[in-house]
Structure 1
Amino acid sequence: MKTIVKLTSLSLVAYVAFFTATAQKSAVIKVIKSGTEKKVEVFAGGKIFASFLYPDSLEKPVLFNIHAADGTIVTRGFPLNPQPGEPNDHPHHMGMWFTFENVNGLDFWNNSYAIPPEKKHSYGWIKTDHIIETSSGTKGILSYHANWTNQQNEVLLEETTRFEFSGTDHQRIIDRVTVLKANTNLLFADAKDGLLGIRVAHALQIPTSKDQQFTDDKGNATVVKGGSDAIANGNFISSEGKLGDSVWSTRGRWCKMYGRMGKDSVSIVVIDHPHNPNYPTYWHARGYGLFAANPLGEKIFTNGQKVKNLSIKKGDSVAFRYRVIIDEGINSLSLKEINKQADEFGRQK
């Protein structure tokens, strides 16, 4: 015998509301600080989301092995956890990070184990000295304090960063607020490499028919033959409708990198905030897998037509806010959905 259930208009509305709420149920976020390592692990719905790494062996703190809701790792493994067949250029590209190429003449972006000792004096370090807060719930909080130093361990600026992690069945969100306080007069001199960077997984790279040569910080060159990469299938699209490699050097309030990983579409969206300096940001977005938002690289992005230097006086501060959305499922995150997220994020102070 079949049971037939009749729904009134009111009960139908309630049913749809219940179904929608269930489908978009927030994942419980757990933020766990290691007792033996300089590491904080973030879990969403019982699954690993990301790890915050700040050991003395790294030149900067990073969020590493960032996962989509289905467990897919959306960031490159090299150099900390290299995967078969993935590119091994730019060893300073690790997970997700926040640095800049020229702060009072020091390069914080390109520093890595590959820099020869005799050249280290030209590079800066970001040293996380303590974790301020960790908390769990429907939103997970991780905040830390770090010092941007030269090789003599003199502090140029103090960084305070607060991560807010959240998620649903098919989505993960990272909100980042970074406040930089100057310990001396600072000049962020207009430069290409900065500020928020992500190195994406191999599959999200843009396929190309051209040969590509990558040179690491030791000067070793690697040539990848055009058309030989059967894994890369990604693409970029920006809020201004730019696609692929044409996104590089253009401005927009958000940018999405997307592709197919396994059976599902996976996308990473970075959203700029209206209160950030030089909004909307320029996108330092490269087909080989670098996905960066840099509002302070105007000179190279405009072929020398404009220059954007950021000066911060001793004792003053500047804040940068970003939202990163990792989405997976049958379909890629729609432009309408991204714009809605960008509107909501933009209203946050």
Structure 2
Amino acid sequence: MKNKLMLTVCCFVSLHVHAQSEGVTFISNSKEKSVKVMIGGKHFTSFIYPNDLEKPILYPIITANGQVITRGFPLEKRDGERIDHPHHVGLWLNYESVNGLDFWNNSYNIPADKKSKYGWIRNVAVERTENGKNNGKLSYSANWENQAGKVLLKEQTAFVFSGTSDSRTIDRITTLTAQQDSVFFKDAKDGMLGIRLTKELEFASDKVEEFTDNQGNITKVSASGNGANGNYLTSEGITGVKAWGTRGNWCMLYGQKEGQPLAVSIIDHQKNPGYPTYWHARDYGLFAANPLGQQIFSNGKETLNLKLSPGQSITFKYRIIVSSGKILRADELDQQAKDFSKK
């Protein structure tokens, strides 16, 4: 029942207040292949694209009150984190099956003799950064390539960053253009906009899992005992693990870290293919929007199998809201979705 189910912890519910925007500036470092994003003079995130990373990402992502919400592994060692899925790093956009190549699961962990089955997003070029009082813009281009360097897709992405005293917002607009060959996106589970989050936003569980400390020592402990307290809420009022594989125009993952409420919300755009998206929303910290995996999520009742002819383009738009000290209400996210649809 749409939006009838509200957050149950009253102290988390926020009042609708129009907070003042904070200025956005960028600090570029071409040698390190990174651009630091500053909001209100504080580090929010960095756009990084080193040669040894299989895709460009935003990492780390930090709330307005200074809490890091992204998992550290594999780039940093942090106490009590899982070290699964080394391809889950920061905030990214790619897909599991592009002309048979797996862009999603590619990482340093893939053996050399199997790398030919995986795609890379390479030749990243930061084209423009634009500081602003109310928002800041960063645009880049990149190639979706096979291991031999053949380009399947040209990517053009623009980020619009903004923030207030208790929130940070990323609008991502990505256009993919097929090159010499037709490009086929087979319906698959792993895609498309993804973020891997801090252990506190995992789901509480008594199941014993393996976690590591910052020295690499592995300890077996339950997720609940490790601080996990996350929960999902979708635009359709679906919560918890039931959110996975359902459609909605937004989904929020919320919880507490160090006694403070925080949340990450992803908003789909009504002009995106496959709208409203399916949520590839897991209980262990992977939070993703996948509009292209329809056959998987619908148990074969729907198919999309997106195809681009040479020269044809498609655009994906997403809004990501990181809130701290409060958790947005469903009606506030509805309004955000309405506002974003005009972009």
CA contact 1:79–1:94 (8 Å) conserved in 2: yes
Correspondence 1:150-165 to 2 at 5 A = 150-165=146-161
Partner amino acid, structure 1, of 2:184: L
* Counterpart selection for 1:202 from 196, 199, 204: 199
When residues 61 and 314 of structure 1 are mapped into structure 2, their CA distance, relative to the original with a 3 A threshold, is: same
Gaps of 5+ in 2: 1-14, 212-217
Partner amino acid, structure 2, of 1:192: K
TM-score by structure 1 length? 0.88
Question: How far off is 1:210 after superposition?
Answer: 3.3
* Map of 2:321 onto structure 1: 325
* Map of 2:285 onto structure 1: 289
CA distance in 1, matches of 2:293, 2:328: 28
Correspondence 1:227-266 to 2 at 5 A = 229-266=225-262
* Map of 1:134 onto structure 2: 129
Q: 2:307 aligned with 1:316, yes or no?
A: no
Question: How far off is 1:29 after superposition?
Answer: 0.5
Alpha-carbon deviations, 1:35-75, whole Å to 9, x = none?
42100100001100001110100000000110110111111
Alpha-carbon deviations, 1:143-172, whole Å to 9, x = none?
000000001000001000000000000010
Superposition misfits of 4+ residues, deviation over 6 angstroms: none
Correspondence 1:24-103 to 2 at 5 A = 24-103=19-98
Alpha-carbon deviations, 1:325-349, whole Å to 9, x = none?
00011x311111111111100122x
CA contact 1:54–1:128 (8 Å) conserved in 2: no
Partner amino acid, structure 2, of 1:295: P
Question: How far off is 1:228 after superposition?
Answer: 5.3
Which is further off, 96-105 or 31-40? Answer: 31-40
* Map of 1:335 onto structure 2: 330
CA distance in 2, matches of 1:103, 1:227: 34
CA contact 2:252–2:263 (8 Å) conserved in 1: yes
Q: Percent identity?
A: 49
When residues 334 and 36 of structure 1 are mapped into structure 2, their CA distance, relative to the original with a 3 A threshold, is: same
The higher-RCO structure (CA 8 Å, 6+ apart) is 2
CA contact 1:75–1:200 (8 Å) conserved in 2: yes
Which is further off, 283-292 or 204-213? Answer: 204-213
Partner amino acid, structure 2, of 1:302: S
CA contact 1:162–1:177 (8 Å) conserved in 2: yes
Gaps of 5+ in 1: 1-19, 215-221
Alpha-carbon deviations, 1:206-259, whole Å to 9, x = none?
112334589xxxxxxx99654653311111110001111000000000000000
CA distance in 2, matches of 1:341, 1:159: 26
* Counterpart selection for 1:191 from 188, 196, 201: 188
Which is further off, 222-231 or 135-144? Answer: 222-231
Please state whether the residue corresponding to 1:195 is helix, strand or coil: strand
Please state whether the residue corresponding to 1:343 is helix, strand or coil: helix
Aligned length: 321
CA contact 1:141–1:163 (8 Å) conserved in 2: yes
Please state whether the residue corresponding to 1:41 is helix, strand or coil: strand
CA contact 1:125–1:150 (8 Å) conserved in 2: yes
Partner amino acid, structure 2, of 1:45: G
Which is further off, 201-210 or 102-111? Answer: 201-210
Please state whether the residue corresponding to 1:203 is helix, strand or coil: helix
* Map of 2:295 onto structure 1: 299
Please state whether the residue corresponding to 2:266 is helix, strand or coil: strand
CA distance in 2, matches of 1:299, 1:208: 30
CA contact 1:51–1:64 (8 Å) conserved in 2: yes
Provide the aligned C-alpha RMSD in A: 1.9
